[in-house]
Amino acid sequence: MLTGKTIILGVTGSIAAYKAAEIIRRLNDLNANVRVIMTVNAAKFIGETTLRTLSNNPVYINMFPPSYGLKDSLTHITISDIADLFLVAPATANIIGKVASGIADDLLSTTLLSVGNKPVLMAPAMNERMYKNSIYKHNEKKLQVAGVKFIDPEFGKLACGDEGDGRLASVDSIVRHVVNVLTGEVFSSLKGKRVLITASGTREYIDPVRFIGNPSTGRMGFALARTALVREADVTLISGKTLLAPPKGVRYIKVETTDQMRKSVLDNFEHADILVMAAAVGDFKPRKIEKNKIKRKDVLRVDLEPTDDILEKLGKIKNNKIIVGFAAETNNLIENAKLKLKKKNLDLIVVNDVTQSGAGFESETNIVKIIDKSNNVEKLPKRTKEEVAHKIWDRIVKILKGKRR
């Protein structure tokens, strides 16, 4: 999405500077080339080594460094030349005031004054009293008139412990704004679409303390939810047990068993335009759940019966909705996935070999094949789950465009 784009990330002296690491990672997932300028105070909150490692580029701090390997000694001009966009996140009241007043007393402020016609995004982060100060508001207005775009901060708990406006915008929001500016249009390919996503695994209890489950962490489903938000979808995320925090902006529903998952999906399916079933839903459950903990035995036999097939049920009542399924396989991937695609009346199915390194449960990456109703197979090499999620949404957007035509 951002292949070939160079983003200069300015990091200033705010407690929110630690979020620069996640911003870099997310922009890297979109294939952007990120270069970082830190202020001296920013380096007190997060280490230069961390940001250099994540960006895989030098980190610029000093106005007159010995050498950064650039073509000449005019560091601020050289950086400006290679940039497609400047992002300051977090942006303190100090840096905003300096740039608004034309002050250039360090590398970041000097570079920001030399950007020319390159787009600049500021993501403010400060205490509410500073954010609402009339002097700050005057400086922000001056920069807006000059063409600088602002990513509004959020209401929430601040570093001082108070609640109020001034907390740095979410990483999702920041990334969405970057993409919006660099793609030349509002990145709203799913705007107005109601998206229902399932994630993580289900549990089927044998007794009060034991269950049958699987190792799904929910990472794929949560990546789908985050990337759908970037595309401005209205997202409902239904998840089994997970250690992940839900992305800010989703409607989040927690479930545990397959029956709970089925009920929640059916309750929300009517109002959805798109369903992506990324959850690892259990196929079997005990016929009987013991009321008390089963004591240790030499042999324990548990009778199992099939759970309800949620996807198959929804495929029969889909109407004009788009349904995407996932298949975790260990052999005959494509053949098994094609059978599932047809049997369950899906629009797309995403299949992976869970025995393959970098593609199974608990992995931060995935290696998948995406199959459509015409049995076309798109093979994706190892990618982060964010990148895989974007590929899936790209395919869904093509289906939506076909329906409109």
Give CA separation, 186 vs 173, 178, 225, 365, in Å.
13, 10, 19, 28
CB atoms within 10 A of CB 106: 20
Pairing of strands 365-372, 377-384: antiparallel
In angstroms, the CA 50 to CA 168 distance is 20
Residue (of 298, 350, 300, 303) closest to 323 by Cα position: 350
In angstroms, the CA 187 to CA 167 distance is 24
Pick the catalytic residue from 135, 146, 160, 289.
160
In angstroms, the CA 322 to CA 291 distance is 41
For tokens 């995004």, what's the residue? 121
Question: Catalytic residue at 261?
Answer: no
In angstroms, the CA 250 to CA 238 distance is 10
Give CA separation, 227 vs 176, 184, 248, 286, 388, in Å.
9, 19, 12, 36, 10
Taken in order 317, 320, 321, 326, the sign of the CA dihedral is: positive
In angstroms, the CA 327 to CA 369 distance is 10
SS3 359: coil
- Written as six digits, the tokens of 219 are 């990472």
Convert 145-170 to b/e letters by CB count within 10 Å (16 or more is b). eeebebbebeeeebeeeeebbbbbbb
Note the Cα 26 to chain centre separation in Å. Answer: 7
Residues 6+ apart with CB under 8 A from 304: 212, 284, 285, 286, 287
8 A C-beta contact, residue 16 and residue 22 = no
Enumerate the active-site residues: 160
